Amino acid sequence: MEDTLEQKLKNLPLKPGVYLFINQKNEIIYIGKASSLKKRVTSYFQKNLDTKTRVLVSHIADIDYIVTQSEIEALLLESSLIKKHKPKYNIQQKDDKRFPYIAITLHEKFPRVIFTRRLFPNGDKYYGPYTDAHAARKTVALLNKTFKLKTCTKDIPLKPHERPCLNHQMGRCQGVCTGIVTEDEYLNVIHTVMQFLDGNIDPVLENLTALMNSYSQAMRFESAAQVRDMIFDIQKMLQAQHVVTPLGQNQDFFGITTHKDEAYILVFQFRHGSLTGKRIFVYNNAEYTSRSSLIAQFIVEYYASNEPPQAIVIPDMIEDRHIIEEYLTSKTSQHVHLTTPKTDHEKAVMQMLNNNLDLAIAQKIASSWQKALFELQEALKLPTLPVDIECFDISNIQGTFAVASMVHFTDGMPNKKEYRRYRIRAYTKPDDPGMIHEVVGRRLQHLLNEGLPLPDLLVIDGGKGQLSRACEVMEALGCSVPVIGLAKRLEEIYFPQGSDPLRLPPTSPALKLLQAIRDEAHRFAITYHRNLRDKNMTASVLDNIHGVGVQYKKKLLQS
């Protein structure tokens, strides 16, 4: 460690604040918060760090910090600085501009309720992001129909020569442009819509019922009938809502899972007992952040623009629980508490969250590999989609302990039930092409003998030599399965016809799929090879003595 960095560590204060790790290029690579800057930062430079932390520390060239008055200030400052600098090793929420939102255009005199994928800092109110664009559009259409909201972009009041739009003439709009409805009356309706989107259903129905009665008493029967229809439509909407809390509480449930370097957080919103919303968020660089820190950071970010309910149910309790509770309570008029699932209902909801998260990841993976399969079919000019792919790899040391592996992928995913491993029988000296000839022949002969379906594509780990020997045995068996060779060094794809090898772009989903299959075959082969080698190394002269069994051998060796 450089003297300047070591000196900075010694001079760190025992106060709360935010620390910044900086690399040789003067780039901020990590931002964190601490109740004690000295204790937290020096912990990164202790022994026995995990691999990921060692990688981070190896890039630290300088340290900076900001002292705060309290841990809450540190929490908020950390979130703000991460958003501003986007450090390499901090989790980053993926750009969610592609997700749909429902917006209320509060910057307009007569606000509209619209579907949008773009967010503007103009004072509009946004609800979302929604994972289902169709559902978001349907909600917008239903709200506009139920509350007869303004949907046109006409300026109000109308110019002398302008006429009301067709929506008013068809009874789909209250007709704010005609002056029938005042600005205050219209804004009251917008307030009701906002209550509805916030999940406050009961007050909405109560207010609408009171409004309907007041119109009736004032003999504004047409207006009363319109409000009555609104109530009917809302109640009809709620009939499909089966997920409720037993006590009609306001609760948010957070579920979290990780896949590779991504973290997925799913939020279920319960308002007045009904499940009113589901939102999913994806973060990058999750492998450098603990589960507890990830949940804490997400809560701070999420409730920066959302009203917190009284209870927030999280899968595991977090270290900064009391600090975050204090921060959330300061944002609302009620005490907010974080809790883990306690009741049967809360446990059931958390299980439902986890099931939805598992499904979301499975769908993403399936979608990603499905795209790769179509691209692979096109790139290799295959007659059919390569749904079933088998890949062969050889592992040996100068011909000793020679083994082969065969992995099977279905729909782009490992199908481990179909994995096979082979001991090489015919070769005792290094000859990878010959070994490929043997195991491909054994595999295909077995499939033919048993009448089992052949794969859609064979992948041989190797270049021209290995591919050529695989083709020889396939021809001898009368198999016409498409086959390619994948050479490691340049990731070149070889074809039986002997044409120039194909190089796919490094970012190609098809290439990534082939690499994943090849790497899995290599892992499976090398594991088997090591097991055989290790087993052989434990052999001794006792193995050749009649009557000495495994257990007695162990006792003799131990003594």
Residues 183-231 have pLDDT tens digits of: 888 898 898 888 878 767 777 778 778 888 888 888 888 878 877 877 7
Quote the longest CA-to-CA distance of the chain. Answer: 113
Asked whether 510 and 369 are in contact (CB, 8 A), the reply is: no
Q: How far is CA 184 from each of CA 179, 190, 227, rounded to the nearest angstrom?
A: 12, 10, 17
Tokens of 23: 């690399």
On the question of a common fold for 251-359 and 382-537, the answer reads yes
For residue range 287-336, what is the model confidence (pLDDT) as tens digits?
878 888 889 989 988 888 788 999 999 999 988 899 999 999 988 878 99
Our CA angle for 55, 60, 62, nearest 5°, is: 170
CATH architecture assignment, domain 3-90: 3-Layer(aba) Sandwich (3.40)
* Angstrom distance (rounded) from CA 376 to CA 371: 9
Average per-residue pLDDT for the chain: 82
**pLDDT value at position 36?**
92
pLDDT at 104 over 50: yes
Read off the pLDDT band of 528 (50, 70, 90): confident
> For residue 378, with 0-12 CB atoms within 10 Å meaning exposed, 13-18 middle and 19 or more buried, which class applies?
exposed
Q: Mean per-residue pLDDT for 116-140?
A: 76
Fold observed for domain 382-537: Nucleotidyltransferase; domain 5 (3.30.420)
**Residue 534 pLDDT:** 58
Res 119: pLDDT? 75
In this predicted structure, what is the pLDDT of residue 240?
41
CA distances from 450 to 369, 445, 446, 447 (A): 30, 9, 6, 5
Give me the pLDDT at residue 241, please: 41
Note the pLDDT tens digit of each residue in 12-33.
Answer: 999 999 999 999 999 999 999 9
pLDDT of residue 474: 94
More confident residue, 122 or 515: 515
Question: Average pLDDT, stretch 44-65?
Answer: 88
**pLDDT in the model for residue 236:** 61
CA dist 310 → 306, 307, 329, 477 (Å):
13, 10, 9, 70
Which tokens is 508 given?
């190609």
pTM of the model: 0.50
In sequence order, which ranges of 101-220 are alpha helices (DSSP H)? 133-147, 166-169, 183-198, 201-217
Query: Could you give the angle at the alpha carbon of 462 between the alpha carbons of 459 and 468, nearest 5°?
Result: 80
Q: How confident is the model at residue 42 (pLDDT cuts 50, 70, 90)?
A: very high
pLDDT band at 243 (very low <50, low <70, confident <90, very high): very low
Least confident of 98-112, 163-177, 398-412: 163-177
* pLDDT of 548 higher than 80: no
The residue ranking higher by pLDDT, 520 or 49, is 520
Helical spans, DSSP H, in 13-70: 37-42, 51-58
**Domain 251-359 architecture:** 2-Layer Sandwich (3.30)
User: How far is residue 360's CA from residue 354's CA, in Å, rounded to a whole number?
Assistant: 10
Q: At what angle do helices 291-302 and 321-330 cross, to 10 degrees?
A: 0
> What ranges make up the beta strands (E) of 38-97?
62-67, 92-93
For residue 5, what are its two tokens?
């960095």
Domain chopping of the chain, boundaries? 3-90, 101-199, 251-359, 382-537
Q: pLDDT value at position 239?
A: 46
- Of 192, 194, 197, which is closest to residue 209 (Cα–Cα)? 192
- Name the range with the highest mean pLDDT among 113-122, 140-149, 326-335, 471-480: 471-480
